[in-house]
């Protein structure tokens, strides 16, 4: 899992009560060899053939991961929340919830990558 020095630096400076959960989400996403990361919009953003998702760094009550065009990701992904035409979200209270959702995160990443190949 190659990480970006830019994102490493962002996390080194970032204070969040569930930072360990955010780091775990990051590592799960980066398990897919297609995925890369950078800092856009002052937040870690994950990409493959376009921007897939970004953390919402202002949310402190939980970890919030916004899938920019999540409504267009093929397949059924029950953890993707939201009813708008474009974005979808995943929220995680803590590290345990991230671990419970790891398969779902991987499935969304795989669907994103397959759609964009």
pTM, two decimal places: 0.94
What is the secondary structure of 23-80 as a DSSP string?
HHHHHHHHTSTT-EEEEETTEEEEESSSEEEEE-TT--SSEEEEETTGGGS-S--TT-
pLDDT, tens digit, 9 for 90 and up, residues 40-64:
989 999 999 999 999 999 988 999 9
Q: Which CATH number belongs to the domain containing residue 56 in this structure?
A: 3.90.1150
pLDDT, tens digit, 9 for 90 and up, residues 9-24:
999 999 999 999 999 9
pLDDT given for residue 41 in this prediction: 87
Domain that holds residue 100: 5-116
Q: How many domains does the chain contain in total?
A: 1
- How far apart, in whole angstroms, are the C-alpha atoms of residue 99 and residue 112? 20
- How far apart, in whole angstroms, are the C-alpha atoms of residue 80 and residue 101? 11
- Mean pLDDT computed over 84-99: 94
Angle, alpha carbons 101-79-27 (nearest 5°): 40
pLDDT given for residue 94 in this prediction: 95
Confidence of residue 1 (pLDDT cuts 50, 70, 90): low
The encoded tokens of residue 90 equal 């995943």
């Amino acid at each position: 899992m190659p990480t970006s020095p830019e994102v490493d630096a962002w996390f080194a400076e970032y204070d969040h009560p569930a930072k360990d959960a955010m780091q775990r989400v990051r590592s799960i996403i980066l398990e897919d060899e297609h995925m890369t990361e950078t800092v856009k919009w002052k937040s870690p953003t994950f990409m493959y053939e376009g921007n897939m998702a970004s953390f919402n760094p202002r949310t402190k009550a939980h970890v919030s991961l916004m899938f920019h065009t999540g409504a267009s990701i093929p397949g059924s992904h029950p953890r993707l929340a939201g009813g708008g035409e474009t974005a979808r979200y995943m929220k995680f209270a803590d590290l345990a919830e991230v671990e419970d959702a790891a398969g779902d995160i991987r499935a969304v990443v795989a669907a994103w990558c397959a759609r964009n190949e």
